[in-house]
Amino acid sequence: MGSPDLKRTRSATDKPTKERIYVRTLAPSDLEACVALEEAAFIPSERCPRETFSYRLKVCPELCFGIFTIRRNKEYLLGHAIATKTLSPSVTESSMAVSTPRHFPHNPAGPTIALHSLAIQPAYQGRYLGTTLLQEYIQRMSMGGCVQRIALIARNRLVGFYGRFGFRCKGVSPIKFGGGEWMDLVLEI
C-alpha cells in the first residue's frame, strides 16, 4: 500500500506529529504483540485466547495482517486482522475453536475466509486505521481467485461499519461465544 501519514495530536497544546504506517502479513514472532493488542481492544469474554493466536499465526500467517508504525527503529503493532479458512459460508463455532490433535479449525481448502479478530489499539481508534487495514485486507484477499468470500461475526453496533466495505448482514449468528447476540456478516468477492 502507499503509506498514509497518520496525523496524531497528543494534547491540544502539542504540535501534531506524523507517523508512517504500513501493513504487512503477521508471523509467529508477532504473537506477543497480538495477544497484548487483543487484551487492550476487547473485553475478557470476547478475547481470542493466546493458544488460538499461536495456532493461526503458525498455520495460516498469509491470512493474518498487522498495521504498524515505527518508533526509534522498533515496530509497534497498531492493529491486526486475524483469520482462518473454512468450508462453511459463514463463521462457525468449529472455525473459532481452539485446535486440538483431532480438530483443525483452519481448512486450507475452504473458499471462505473467517475473519476472527479485527482490532485497533484503543489510543488509535477513530483515526481510520481500521478502515485502512480492512480495505488493504479485502484487496489482498481478493487477488488470486481462490477466495469466494470473507465472513465475520460482529455486534449489531458494528454492522454499519462493515457495511461500508460491502459486507451484507445475514441475520443473527447461532454462535454463542462471549454471550449476547452476534450478527453474521459476509462480503462476497
Ligand X SMILES: CC(C)(COP(=O)(O)OP(=O)(O)OC[C@H]1O[C@@H](n2cnc3c(N)ncnc32)[C@H](O)[C@@H]1OP(=O)(O)O)[C@@H](O)C(=O)NCCC(=O)NCCS
Query: Could you list the residues that contact ligand X (CB under 6 A)?
Result: 41-42, 118-120, 125-131, 154, 157-158, 160-161
Minimum distance from residue 127 beta carbon to ligand X (Å): 5
| C-beta closer to ligand X: residue 110 or 130 | 130
| C-beta closer to ligand X: residue 108 or 163 | 163
Residue with grid cell 495530536, as numbered in its chain: 9
| C-beta closer to ligand X: residue 104 or 136 | 136
Minimum distance from residue 41 beta carbon to ligand X (Å): 4
Q: How many CB atoms lie within 10 A of CB 116?
A: 22
Minimum distance from residue 74 beta carbon to ligand X (Å): 22
Q: What is the CA radius of gyration of the chain?
A: 16
User: Among 78, 76, 97, which residue's Cα sits nearest to residue 88?
Assistant: 97
| C-beta closer to ligand X: residue 19 or 104 | 19
DSSP per-residue letters across 70-114: EETTEEEEEEEEEEEEESSSS--HHHHSPPBTTB----TT-SEEE
Minimum distance from residue 173 beta carbon to ligand X (Å): 11
Distance CA(109)–CA(91), nearest Å, equals 15
Distance CA(167)–CA(12), nearest Å, equals 36
